[in-house]
Amino acid sequence: MNTTANANLFSRLFDHLDDPARLAIEELDGTRISYADLIARAGQMANVLVSRGVKVGDRVAAQTEKSVPALVLYLATVRAGAVYLPLNTAYTLNELEYFIGDAEPSLVVCDPAKAEGIGKIAAKVGAKVETLGADGKGSLTEAASKASPDFKTAPRENDDLAAILYTSGTTGRSKGAMLSHDNLASNSLSLVGYWRFGKDDILIHALPIYHTHGLFVASNVTLFARASMIFLPKFDPELILKLMARATVLMGVPTFYTRLLQHPGLSKESTKHMRLFVSGSAPLLADTHREWSARTGHAVLERYGMTETNMNTSNPYDGDRVPGAVGFPLPGVSVRVTDPDTGREVAREEIGMIEVKGPNVFKGYWRMPEKTKSEFRDDGFFITGDLGKIDGKGYVHIVGRGKDLVISGGFNVYPKEIESEIDAMPGVVESAVIGVPHADFGEGVTAVVVCNKGAAVTEASVLKALDGRLAKFKMPKRVFIVDDLPRNAMGKVQKNILRDSYAKIYSK
């Protein structure tokens, strides 16, 4: 818990710099941005936000491609005391209408090519629109280039909101997880210590910055440690292998590691300068963990987090990084496993519902008090929806989901949303969307569809109809047409049976 005068995450990141000239970010074109530069740029952009009417507590929504100005926008929003709302760049206008309508931001920042469509949605909630392209150019940066770098960081309390991230559930609509300044700061500082981050570290930052892993874990941890990052627009195995010769840390999703393992240049020699490889956002298959260790001599450090909780557990820096396990609770975080029906804690090695409590856990769901109340126990533990166990040595293992949420490529996929789209198609009776093991994506989104007799519904026709309606990461990788879906005595579709039936379809 922060006890300084200003609990604003920006203040906690930058107020006590010992060396403002230290390198913070390096871009692929060789541009080098110091901590002082970053603070100045955030000041310029914060001044633009305020001039556009953004007030303390207002939401600033951003659907922008990854760039340094996009990261600066996040820092500037927090500095101005507003609430940052990052939106996946794959979201369609159909999907954005819900998020913008629900969050009611006062400003929406988007790619210039999307300004017209998003402008119509923003107008419905009275939001202004600024543009920011993948090249870092747009109306926002143009205005910022003329603004003063001097900006008085808005005073904030620990529990004031810093960000809202929308997460998928299994029933109802997407929920906005409200994250406070202390949620973000406390978790980042905990990871700095746990993962031994220091000033000499150089992170290869190849993750997107519209979700927890790339924005809060990778960026905040690096900045709190006064380390530096090589900022890549996207994942590029060839480039990452070259950068390993002078970097020290890579944070990735399982897909990063499976793709790097396919590269002939991956070896103990090519990774000898690296200190740490971290994986998260989706389960890393134990086989991938073992193959990586054999090829490189490094054990991937797997951790477990959620949009609502930031990071909860991590395999140890020193000690065994167990394949298939997500390690121990982080300092200050409590983890327990309970009987999903009674809520009573179960014994070691018994599978149950994972519940967590700590300064990392969010403040609730945006404008959903009843939903928030239902997800917390009376003693403050958050019910994650993940099934798991704690083994005899204290390692946490995730074995599945109590909810039907699919995590594919590190992104949350909400089955009901896809099912609703498929069920509306001519000739379709019903559908069930599940996640099944996939070496590259953790889970592959898979649709099982029942049709009317004689209906001309095929895998190709379903995929064609969904194209443009859903973000690419939500698109089923396979569609199976069946006569009926398995049901229990109550008539509920038994997705566990479907998952078992299709468990091997993506096996190599």
Q: pLDDT: is 487 or 468 the higher one? A: 468
Q: Is residue 508 very low, low, confident or very high in pLDDT (cuts 50, 70, 90)?
A: low
Report which DSSP code applies to 213. Answer: I
User: For the residues 189-210, what does the mean pLDDT come to?
Assistant: 97
CB 187 within 8 A of CB 310: yes
The whole-number pLDDT of residue 169 equals 45
CB 364 within 8 A of CB 372: yes
Q: Is residue 199 very low, low, confident or very high in pLDDT (cuts 50, 70, 90)?
A: very high
The whole-number pLDDT of residue 455 equals 93
- Mean pLDDT of all residues in the chain? 94
- Taking Cα atoms as reference points, which of 317, 269, 230, 249 lies closest to residue 31? 230
b/e map 258-278, b = 16+ CB within 10 Å: bbbbeeeebeeebbeebbbbb
User: For the residues 224-246, what does the mean pLDDT come to?
Assistant: 97
The whole-number pLDDT of residue 507 equals 82
CA distance 212 to 165: 8
Which residue matches tokens 């193959």?
Answer: 291
Report which DSSP code applies to 200. Answer: T
Q: Which of 65-69, 207-211, 280-284 has the lowest mean pLDDT?
A: 280-284
The whole-number pLDDT of residue 283 equals 81
Structure tokens at 26: 């390096």
Percent of the chain residues topping a pLDDT of 70: 97
* DSSP run (H or E) holding 373: helix 369-374
Specify which residues 250 forms β-bridges with.
Answer: 204, 277
CA distance 2 to 311: 18
State the first-to-last Cα distance of the chain, in angstroms, to the nearest integer. 48
Structure tokens at 474: 């939500």
* Residue 489 clears pLDDT 70, i.e. is over it: no
Q: For the CA atoms of 239, 242, 245, 247, what is the dihedral angle to 10 degrees? A: 0
Question: What is the per-residue pLDDT across 9-66, written as a single tens digit (0 to 9) for each?
Answer: 999 999 999 999 999 999 999 999 999 999 999 999 999 999 999 999 999 999 999 9
CB 333 within 8 A of CB 360: yes
Report which DSSP code applies to 271. Answer: T
The whole-number pLDDT of residue 167 equals 85
CB 327 within 8 A of CB 296: no
Percent of the chain residues topping a pLDDT of 90: 85
Q: Is residue 490 very low, low, confident or very high in pLDDT (cuts 50, 70, 90)?
A: low
User: For the residues 160-184, what does the mean pLDDT come to?
Assistant: 86
Q: Is residue 171 very low, low, confident or very high in pLDDT (cuts 50, 70, 90)?
A: very low
Q: pLDDT: is 232 or 173 the higher one? A: 232
User: For the residues 286-315, what does the mean pLDDT come to?
Assistant: 96
Q: Is 107 exposed, middle or buried (0-12, 13-18, 19+ CB in 10 A)?
A: buried
The whole-number pLDDT of residue 170 equals 41
* Residue 84 clears pLDDT 90, i.e. is over it: yes
CA distance 231 to 445: 30
Question: What is the per-residue pLDDT across 423-482, written as a single tens digit (0 to 9) for each?
Answer: 889 999 889 999 999 999 999 999 999 999 999 999 999 999 999 999 999 999 999 999
* DSSP run (H or E) holding 421: helix 415-423
Report which DSSP code applies to 384. Answer: E
Q: Is residue 168 very low, low, confident or very high in pLDDT (cuts 50, 70, 90)?
A: low
